[in-house]
Chains A and B, each alone.
Chain A
Amino acid sequence: MKEVFIIGNGVAGSTLALNLSATDSFRVHLISDESDFFYSRTALMYLYMGHLTAQQTEPYERNHWEKSGVNRIRGRVFALDRNAKTLTYRDVEGNTHQKTYDILVLAMGSLPRFLDWPNSTLKGVSGLYHLKDLEAIEAYTEPTKCKEAVIIGGGLIGVELAEMVHSRGIHTTMVIREPYFWSSVLPDSDAQLVQKHIEAQGIHILTETEVSRFSSEDGQQLSGVQLNSGKELSAQFAGVCIGVTPNTGFLSESGLTLNEGVVVDEYLQTSDPSIYAIGDCAELKHPSTERRAVEAVWYVARQMAETLSKHLIEGRAAYEQKHWFNSAKFFDLEYQTYGQVSTSSKRKNSEQHFHWHPKNQSKGITLSYRAHDRQFLGVNTFGIRLKQSVFEQWLNASESVDTVVAQLDRAHFDPEFSKMYYNDFRYAFLSNNG
Chain B
Amino acid sequence: MYTGLIGIAALISAGISNTLGTTPQLMASIALTLVAVGVLGYTYSSYAASGPGIKNNGVMFRSLTQRGVWAYASAVGLTAFYILLYFFDSQLEGIIRGFDPLSKMLSGNPASQWFVYGVLYTLAILLFGIKFIVKYRHSRYQIIRTISVMFFQLVFAFLLPELMARLNGDLPYYDLKNMWPLNYYLFDQYAVDGFISAKQLGIGLLLFGIASIFIISPILTYKFGKRWYCSWVCGCGGLAETAGDAFRHLSDNSVRAWKLERWMIHSILVLITLSTVGVVHSYLREGEGDYWLSADLFLGLFSLVVILIVSLIYFKRKEWLAKDAKRSILIIGALIVGLSGIHFLSDSYHVFLIPTYTLRSAYGFFIGSIFSGVIGTGFYPLLGNRVWCRFGCPMAAILGIQQKLFSKFQISTNSGQCISCGNCSAYCEMGIDVRAYAQKQEPIKRASCVGCGICSEVCPRGVLRLENTANPNQLS
Provide a sorted-by-A list of 25 A–B residue pairs whose CB atoms are within 8 angstroms. Answer: A40-B420, A40-B422, A43-B419, A43-B420, A49-B57, A50-B60, A50-B61, A52-B60, A56-B425, A58-B422, A59-B435, A59-B439, A61-B254, A303-B416, A328-B461, A332-B138, A336-B461, A336-B462, A388-B414, A388-B416, A389-B414, A415-B139, A415-B453, A416-B453, A418-B141
* Contact B419–A298 (Cβ < 8 Å): yes
Task: Tell me, in angstroms, the Cα distance from A416 to B414 when the chains sit together.
Answer: 15
Q: Which residues of B contact A392 (CB under 8 A)?
A: 415
Q: Which residues of B contact A42 (CB under 8 A)?
A: 419-421
* Contact B422–A332 (Cβ < 8 Å): no
Flag the segment in B48-56, B174-182, B288-296 that touches A.
B48-56
Residue in B140, B417, B421, B465 whose beta carbon sits within 8 Å of that of A52 in the complex: B421
Task: Tell me, in angstroms, the Cα distance from A52 to B54 when the chains sit together.
Answer: 13
Task: Tell me, in angstroms, the Cα distance from A324 to B310 when the chains sit together.
Answer: 48
**Minimum CB distance partner of A297 in chain B:** B419
* Contact B417–A325 (Cβ < 8 Å): yes
Task: Tell me, in angstroms, the Cα distance from A298 to B101 when the chains sit together.
Answer: 63
* Contact A201–B462 (Cβ < 8 Å): no
B321 at the interface (CB under 8 A from A): no
CB of A393, distance to nearest CB on chain B (Å): 11
B58 at the interface (CB under 8 A from A): yes
Q: Among A49, A59, A167, A389, which residue has the most Cβ atoms of chain B within 10 A?
A: A59
A145 at the interface (CB under 8 A from B): no
Bits for A17-60, please: 1 = Cβ < 8 Å to B, else 0: 00000000000000000000000101100100111110011111
A329 at the interface (CB under 8 A from B): yes
- The interface size bin for chain A is 35 or more
Task: Tell me, in angstroms, the Cα distance from A60 to B141 when the chains sit together.
Answer: 30
Q: Which residues of A contact B422 (CB under 8 A)?
A: 40, 43, 46, 52, 56-59
**Minimum CB distance partner of A417 in chain B:** B140
- The interface size bin for chain B is 35 or more
Interface residues of A in 379-400 (CB under 8 A from B): 385, 387-389, 392
Interface residues of A in 311-333 (CB under 8 A from B): 325, 327-329, 331-332
* Contact B53–A387 (Cβ < 8 Å): no
* Contact B141–A385 (Cβ < 8 Å): no
**Minimum CB distance partner of B460 in chain A:** A329
Residue in B425, B460, B466 whose beta carbon sits within 8 Å of that of A415 in the complex: B466
Q: Which residues of A contact B420 (CB under 8 A)?
A: 11, 40, 42-43, 59
Interface residues of B in 405-450 (CB under 8 A from A): 414-417, 419-423, 425-426, 433, 435-436, 439
Q: Which residues of B contact A298 (CB under 8 A)?
A: 419
Q: Which residues of A contact B56 (CB under 8 A)?
A: 49-51
Task: Tell me, in angstroms, the Cα distance from A51 to B60 when the chains sit together.
Answer: 6
* Contact B57–A417 (Cβ < 8 Å): no
A302 at the interface (CB under 8 A from B): yes
Task: Tell me, in angstroms, the Cα distance from A166 to B401 when the chains sit together.
Answer: 46
Q: Which residues of A contact B435 (CB under 8 A)?
A: 59
* Contact A167–B57 (Cβ < 8 Å): yes
CB of B290, distance to nearest CB on chain A (Å): 49
Q: Which residues of A contact B61 (CB under 8 A)?
A: 50
Residue in B54, B457, B465 whose beta carbon sits within 8 Å of that of A413 in the complex: B465
Task: Tell me, in angstroms, the Cα distance from A416 to B148 when the chains sit together.
Answer: 15
Task: Tell me, in angstroms, the Cα distance from A414 to B139 when the chains sit together.
Answer: 10
Q: Which residues of A contact B436 (CB under 8 A)?
A: 60
B59 at the interface (CB under 8 A from A): yes
B255 at the interface (CB under 8 A from A): yes
Residue in B138, B414, B423 whose beta carbon sits within 8 Å of that of A51 in the complex: B423
Q: Which residues of A contact B139 (CB under 8 A)?
A: 415, 418
CB of B443, distance to nearest CB on chain A (Å): 12
Q: Which residues of A contact B439 (CB under 8 A)?
A: 59
**Minimum CB distance partner of B466 in chain A:** A416
Bits for A326-354, please: 1 = Cβ < 8 Å to B, else 0: 01110110101000000000000000000
Which 4 pairs show the lowest CB-CB distances between chains A and B? A332-B53, A385-B462, A388-B415, A43-B421
